Structure 1
């Protein structure tokens, strides 16, 4: 299969998070190593923040864990075993945050170190302050959604008050039948399911209260550590992330540098500069993906030339034909005719 088709699977999560899954399994009498192996992962990953699990790998581990345990709310169990260190410097920086607002803003800026499966943002309206997680990757396990949001609540209880109770909690996952009370117990409020995004909303009046454990110097040191690791991640995968966004937006006929930059939470100029340091450009990557996908589609007789043009983001068939001729020296129809590929 062509690499372009696999790009949507490459969003990663810090692998040390899976240590909490291991502990949750073993505490309940299950063989974690056997479950990880059954999920296609040969070992339980270690604490290196550059050691990452893909969305598909993490989903496979959770799928096997739920199958063995029979617990559809297994993610809530995992949250109880998540130490702040499971997300490396991000966890320790959250503990040293000077206020709940400071902690939430840190999640907005640095969540990528923990996971690329979503993007955080903050909304304030009236007396409500909402931390919102937009899940941006397909195939994210429901248990990941449960575990992460329950973990954030635990962090807030550690740094603010043990009895911290949000005003409301929303999750993008559907409700597992018959166990709504488990979620209410975990989050201390009834949970809204099947929401368009994940939200933890709290009283606006409390988010700027100074936290007794806050330490700006320690938090800043961990911020610098995170910036170093994120820069390393960017160096390793900025091209993959751009290609993944291109694949996502191509059929919309609006696959522009501006839209892709927005998807990656940066300006078009910043994107251009990052790619330039790697001796490539947005247009180069767009052409690579189009050509790669076009060669795959050409082998699929059920995909017409007209449909192919649309799937590759061209405004019309003639534009696609000109591009294809540049790539191969032949028109799409001649290319298929030579290979006896009947539409």
Structure 2
């Protein structure tokens, strides 16, 4: 799934705080650098503030010039914390596996920046997270920092030596400090690639994470959806997903109700979704599947309660749908999940 780029990209203001800290650490005057580009660092501490990506590109260009270090972007990742990404940070840290972590990156990274085009792919041998800037593609610092943050978060929530099996970067091979990239990622690094790619081992990415929390992930996913819906009224997919989550427990989640909430006709709704190469039915099924897996992974809710929360008429209808999505019955899925959890912690 590819995320949809924007005409005038912007990013979460708290990212600028991490950049400022990285600048200060090497003795550069972050306040002066940001002031030169017209960014107020005091206001940047507001998690609801957004900064034009073009202004941050000016900061990155100055940072690379003044630091004289092509690997400066890697240092930014050390100052990114879960709270830097608002509710998405908590959702990522509560992910069940590193695979679901990466799928959240693809789905929700717009909350961090609308200047990223992300994709997650599965090949016969590995899993690949692809990240591209929508504009300012010659500014490599933010691209390096995105990938470095993902690997750093993986080391925080999975294991300290978590690493991809290979990294492909868009930036040209640096004339100095090339070793910093290899040392950071602890993997072979190819420079001058057409896209930025983190390549991971499949089995590694599907291991249960020690601090996985399906309920916390679900709650923060809902907050992220609400923030995205508020941030971008034109993003029809986000609007529909947020409405589906709200309406499912009522048993009245249908295309007519969704269109009514979004103040448009059903025909207009379907037309806008078709332009994004999806449909109401696809989004409904995707949302139900994700919520179902999160609910079933918890040993907190009965199957009848999950059936109600997902808007199914009865347990048998839910069970059939769940088996179609996962190949397992809800009982078998929960049993397998809990057994894996016990073996991982045993």
* TM-score interval for Structure 1 and Structure 2 normalised by the shorter chain: 0.5 to 0.7
Please state whether the residue corresponding to 2:69 is helix, strand or coil. Answer: coil
1:233: Cα distance to partner? 1.5
Residue in structure 1 matched with residue 225 of structure 2 by the alignment: 227
1:59 corresponds, among 35, 57, 60, to 57
1:248-259 equivalences under 5 Å are: none
Match of 1:146 in 2: 144
Mark the runs of 5 or more structure 2 residues left unpaired by the alignment: 237-267, 281-346
* CA distance, structure 1, for counterparts of residue 128 and residue 153 of structure 2: 16
Distance of 2:87 and 2:63 partners within structure 1: 27
Is residue 69 of structure 1 aligned with residue 31 of structure 2? Answer: no
The whole-number CA distance in structure 1 between the counterparts of 2:212 and 2:222 is 17
Q: Which residue of 2 aligns with 1:214?
A: 212
Give RMSD over aligned pairs: 2.6
Aligned counterpart for 2:113 among listed residues 109, 112, 115: 115
CA distances 1:231-254 after superposition (whole Å, capped 9, x unpaired): 01122x659xxxxxxxxxxxxxxx
Cross-structure match for 2:83: 85
147, 165, 168: which one pairs with 2:166? 168
* Whole-angstrom distance in 2 between the partners of 1:99 and 1:177: 37
Q: Please say if residues 9 and 54 of structure 1, whose CA atoms lie closer than 8 Å, have aligned partners that are also in contact.
A: no
| Counterpart in the other structure of 1:266 | 276
Shift of 1:11: 0.5
SS at match of 1:46: helix
Task: Return 226-235 or 77-86, whichever deviates more.
Answer: 77-86
Assess if the C-alpha contact under 8 Å between 1:22 and 1:44 holds in 2: no
Distance 1:92 1:47, change over 3 A: farther
Give the match for residue 27 of structure 2.
29
* Aligned residue runs from structure 1 range 1-343, under 5 A: 10-139=8-137, 141-235=139-233, 266-267=276-277
- The equivalent of 2:340 in structure 1 is none
Structure 1 position 196, deviation (Å): 1.8
Relative to the length of structure 2, the TM-score reads 0.65
Is the 2:14–2:44 contact (alpha carbons within 8 Å) kept by the matching residues of 1? yes
| CA distance in 1 between partners of 2:232 and 2:96 (Å) | 28
Question: 1:219 Cα deviation (Å)?
Answer: 0.8
Q: 1:184 to 1:69 in 2, by over 3 A?
A: same
Q: What is the CA–CA distance in structure 2 between the aligned matches of 1:80 and 1:125, rounded to whole Å?
A: 30
Q: TM-score, normalised by structure 1?
A: 0.65
- Residue 130 of structure 2: SS of its match in structure 1? strand
Give the Å deviation of 1:265. 8.6
More deviation in 119-128 or 196-205? 119-128
Across the two proteins, how many residue pairs are aligned to each other?
Answer: 243
Q: Contact 2:87–2:221 at 8 Å: present in 1 too?
A: yes
Alpha-carbon spacing, 1:96–1:8, altered in 2? closer, same or farther (3 Å) = closer
| Aligned-residue offset at 1:123 | 1.2
